[in-house]
A and B are shown apart, each in its own frame.
Chain A
Amino acid sequence: GAVVSQHPSRVICKSGTSVKIECRSLDFQATTMFWYRQFPKQSLMLMATSNEGSKATYEQGVEKDKFLINHASLTLSTLTVTSAHPEDSSFYICSARAQGQKGTDTQYFGPGTRLTVL
């Protein structure tokens, strides 16, 4: 149980285009999902908290107009990188907060999406 998927796993796009990444909790409902960014050989940096049915909460320094987050259902959150530039190239990982599972407040992570902007 507690499986989280991400799609796509890898995407290459041209500078100036927008890219949408989906995060799904497959076997549980998640009112809260998180989006992280990870640079090579570094830890995870929390970008934003995605709340079902309400606006996302962004961490300091993360541009909300650049990284659009939508949490339309209890099993799906999307991150759209708008007008992507090479400096947005990174590994993006989502997680879903499991409630009522063994180990309350446990986050289960997706496999990540490697974004490369040319």
Chain B
Amino acid sequence: GEDVEQSLFLSVREGDSSVINCTYTDSSSTYLYWYKQEPGAGLQLLTYIFSNMDMKQDQRLTVLLNKKDKHLSLRIADTQTGDSAIYFCAVILSGTYKYIFGTGTRLKVLA
């Protein structure tokens, strides 16, 4: 079945860039997503990328997609303390509408 992996933790200093990585096994997902979860809250859609794109930029967020390596990344420029949260990548399970979530990366921003 589909397997989506992320590193568990990332710590950066305020003002630096953060790069959160995600690898997946099934490359048929039409869209790939990044969600943010703050403590005790639901998931907030940050951005998504269409599978035929290599890059998408949205203000401080840049998504890079390497389909050959099945690697997705989220770069947050000028990281702020408010960016501290858990970030999940998600792909769509082939032939369904179901999401398969990564394990989540806990981003800690140090002041």
- A93, B103: Cβ atoms under 8 Å? no
* Smallest CB gap from B8: residue in A: A41
Looking at chain B, what size class is its interface with the partner chain? 20 to 34
- Residues of B near any A CB (own CB < 8 A): 30-31, 33, 35, 40-45, 48, 88, 90, 92, 97-99, 101-104
* A89 to B: closest C-beta gap in Å: 14
Q: Which residue on A lies nearest to B6, using beta carbons? A: A43
Which A residues, 66 to 99, have Cβ-Cβ distances below 8 Å to chain B? Answer: 91, 93, 95, 97
Chain A nearest Cβ from B11, distance in angstroms: 16
**Pick from B92, B99, B104: contact of A46, CB under 8 Å:** B99
In order of increasing CB-CB distance, the 8 nearest A-B pairs are A109-B43, A109-B42, A111-B42, A112-B42, A43-B101, A44-B101, A110-B42, A43-B104
Question: Which residues of chain B are within 8 angstroms of A107 by Cβ–Cβ distance?
Answer: 45, 90, 99
